[in-house]
Structure 1
Amino acid sequence: MSPGSEPPPPGATPATHLHARHRAVMPDWLALYYREPLELTHGEGRHVWDATGRRYLDFFGGILTTMTAHALPEVTEAVAGQAGRILHTSTLYLDRHMVELAERIAALSGIPDARVFFTTSGTEATDAALLLATTHRRSNQVLAMRNSYHGRSFSSVAVTGNSSWSPTSLSPLQTLYVHGAVRTRGPYAALTDAEFTAACVADLEDVLGQAHGNVAALIAEPVQGVGGFTSPPDGLYAAFREVLARRGILWISDEVQTGWGRTGDHFWGWQAHAASGPPDLLTFAKGIGNGMSIGGVVARAEVMNSLGANSISTFGGSPVTMAAGLANLTHLLEHDLQGNARRVGGLLIERLRAVAAGLPLVHEVRGRGLMIGVELTGPDGSPAPEAAALTLEHAREDGLLIGKGGREGNTLRIAPPLSLTVAEAEEGAAILESALHRTHRTLAGEERA
């Protein structure tokens, strides 16, 4: 009998036994949701099932990754068909699927004379973008936003402005952090949108005054993902771009979570700041693969071709993942899932705002499309991570899976597949309403946790 294959000890459920095995071989810092972690075994549409056979409405999609639907036939058939021919070749060989997907992404990006480099994750895409920008500009100075998250590698942690996700202060870069990504907290929260933007531009100018010579780039999420789905007023990055362009500083738009129409109003998050035109580089990942490992960078040819040494990707752009990405992107475009995100997401956010109106623990419901954050605070207005954790548990008990984020872990993150129906949105909102009321009663001492 192989190690770990023995049956659970007396009194232990299969789930608790698997959890014990997980803890014995995985890092302590590898987080799991829920007091009794879930083993998800299969999914279909907007639903998933755990190992006991219980069904859940999925409002998190594997961290915004299941973009179209679980077990989407077009994607599963593309994966199976390609796997039956050849699984792997590497970028040293021509691959038709990779070229076709790159052509489509380049055209959709809005970046002129675009080139596309495929990676296996958003973290690796950040690494590649930073390598390109710093090489092109011959500088290791980078601007980043406070409260940001760009990945877990050494270089991506170096531009992450969220202390909860920055395990080290060591860095290969000199990172200068600027204001602007969090609208409702901080020293500029009380300003109007126009005043807020002007204050953040002034802060950017001041920060650049502290830099030594060239600055390579600004990297920014149009809507911060791990940071709790926070965003600046529309147009802020266009105003930033005017300042950057005068100095030749590149703009990297991190579209790992905002890309592919999730925000409803736009296909890319940068388009909410489109007065300045497209970014110099954009990174993507998550949703394009619908669960397959795809990431990448789109950049102007001048920037993409600036590397003076060999560089390949063994696994980036593999035949199987590229076939999946093509099928998934085709389905998304042909079924106007961006439009569905705008329509159904608009209904969902208004429904949640109505729920929040009677709950003092909800500080704000924010977002756009199917990218919605519900920030929870205590009676004194301070962040309430305990309330978020309790609400996650209550929602799970009633059959709804959601996420959480924010620097203090006090924001519920709602990001279902973009094919969400109106009926499913109503069902999820009702479950979340019940969960929030249970949390309120628990924290008030009226109900046990």
Structure 2
Amino acid sequence: MSDLYARHRGVLPDWLALYYEEPLEITHGEGRHVWDSEGNKYLDFFGGILTTMTAHALPEVTKAVAEQAGRIVHSSTLYLNRPMVELAERIAHISGIPDARVFFTTSGTEANDTALLLATTHRRSNTVLAMRNSYHGRSFSAVGITGNRGWSPTSLSPLQTLYVHGGVRGRGPFAGLDDAAFVDACVADLKDLLGHTRAPAALIAEPIQGVGGFTSPPDGLYAAFREVLDEHGILWIADEVQTGWGRTGEHFWGWQAHGRNGPPDIVTFAKGIGNGMSVGGVIARSEIMNCLDANSISTFGGTQITMAAALANLSYLLEHDLQGNARRVGGLLIERLRAAAAQDPGVREVRGRGLMIGVELTRPGTGLADPDRASAVLEAARADGLLIGKGGGHDTSALRVAPPLSLTVAEAEEGAAILESALRSTR
């Protein structure tokens, strides 16, 4: 392992972060478990950053990949592509967007880039509204709208970005308000902001902020925002890269917790739909998707092998009601973690929906982030056979828990017990 780490350091960028003091090489997985190169077995509660959404080595997906690879792997979008059309039809239908069109990419970053291109072109404006503490990818334009300082290495951008309150319920100037007053204050802030700028192209927002530590506003905030946006013709882009496909349990899409005024104008997706394959995409009304007046293709977006995987994965997810499983097992896991946190003065909050759970750590009695303890808990959980993630603001003091959606009750109990032990050992 030390040899591979040295080789990694020798040829890859210094800013390419690795978890753990002794980095881990994962060699194979099955179900909700993975194994490292030394033969250690782990319960996986992070799924390659919420990407192995259904299960590791899911037979239905691996079979679809193998069969498609035996026919043709790739041809580009210059040719008709049956798996791409079939998947687009299914996604358009379940998106809730009328007369929807779907464009496939290879990542969430590229999906958000495409959404920004569409919105700014359609609206003839390069001003974008984004949420504080947000994360939308690592490309130049996506970094330019990211509101999380820890993931924004440059202030240079092709876009003018204005940041709005509301993505983090428990911190900031409105934290002490009740939910209704919080929404009212955030809406008033948005109205005030719009009075000081040219009309933006769009608001882009994660229904639950992923890298930001699984934070979210009260239900209905983005519906209230939508009423203001519609008055100005401003588009709403829902970044569903981490929240889509039933992970939150209560809804298939995260925006549905805020959807009293209908679906967003644009939805971006990635991660879980491919169950580990590189699939991303954009859904938009036809008038928005078709606004580009120059040639555009995608070499690798929508390639046959990834479409075959995503089709099989989506079918499995729907046929086995994994959204319902996320709601049931996720609810149990959240309550189990909240019971453990009640005995720990360093746990500020256990939050989340379904199988998207954040555990925020602070220094007892101060409210200040505790990134050192977050790292220690990560290490302790790994030592006992559990993989989790980290997130939050620039202090990265929230633990991120996001297992595959096929998680069993027994595995939820096992993971909760390991995490409780890790918290206890690091007090």
The two structures have a TM-score, normalised by structure 1, of 0.94
How much does 1:415 deviate?
0.1
Query: Pick from 156, 174, 192: which aligns with 1:170?
Result: 156
State the alpha-carbon separation in 2 of the partners of residues 251 and 295 from structure 1: 19
Matches within 5 A, 1:103-182: 103-182=89-168
Q: Secondary structure at the match of 1:84?
A: helix
State the alpha-carbon separation in 1 of the partners of residues 57 and 317 from structure 2: 14
Residue matched to 2:184:
198
Q: Specify every segment of 5 or more residues in structure 2 that has no aligned partner in the other structure, as ranges.
A: none
Residue matched to 2:419:
432
Residue matched to 1:221:
206
Q: Secondary structure at the match of 1:275?
A: coil
How much does 1:276 deviate?
1.3
Query: Pick from 276, 293, 302: which aligns with 2:278?
Result: 293
Q: Secondary structure at the match of 1:276?
A: coil
Residue matched to 2:406:
419
Residue matched to 1:371:
356
Q: Would you say 1:18 and 2:1 are equivalent positions?
A: no
State the alpha-carbon separation in 1 of the partners of residues 212 and 193 from structure 2: 22
State the alpha-carbon separation in 2 of the partners of residues 196 and 355 from structure 1: 29
How much does 1:274 deviate?
1.2
CA deviation vs aligned residue, 1:377-434 (integer Å, no higher than 9, x gap): 0021100000100000000000000000001110000000000000000000000000
Residue matched to 1:303:
288
Query: Pick from 228, 235, 255: which aligns with 1:243?
Result: 228
State the percentage of identical aligned residues: 78
Query: How many residues are treated as equivalent by the alignment?
Result: 425
C-alpha RMSD over aligned residues:
0.4
How much does 1:335 deviate?
0.1
Q: Would you say 1:390 and 2:365 are equivalent positions?
A: no
Query: Pick from 70, 77, 86: which aligns with 2:72?
Result: 86
Q: Which amino acid aligns with 1:140?
A: N
Q: Would you say 1:188 and 2:174 are equivalent positions?
A: yes
Residue matched to 2:304:
319
Q: Would you say 1:353 and 2:353 are equivalent positions?
A: no
Residue matched to 1:282:
267
State the alpha-carbon separation in 2 of the partners of residues 25 and 141 from structure 1: 38
State the alpha-carbon separation in 2 of the partners of residues 341 and 258 from structure 1: 12
State the alpha-carbon separation in 1 of the partners of residues 219 and 70 from structure 2: 46
The two structures have a TM-score, normalised by structure 2, of 0.99
Residue matched to 1:265:
250
State the alpha-carbon separation in 2 of the partners of residues 439 and 277 from structure 1: 45
State the alpha-carbon separation in 2 of the partners of residues 154 and 209 from structure 1: 28
State the alpha-carbon separation in 2 of the partners of residues 366 and 348 from structure 1: 11
Q: Specify every segment of 5 or more residues in structure 1 that has no aligned partner in the other structure, as ranges.
A: 1-14, 441-449
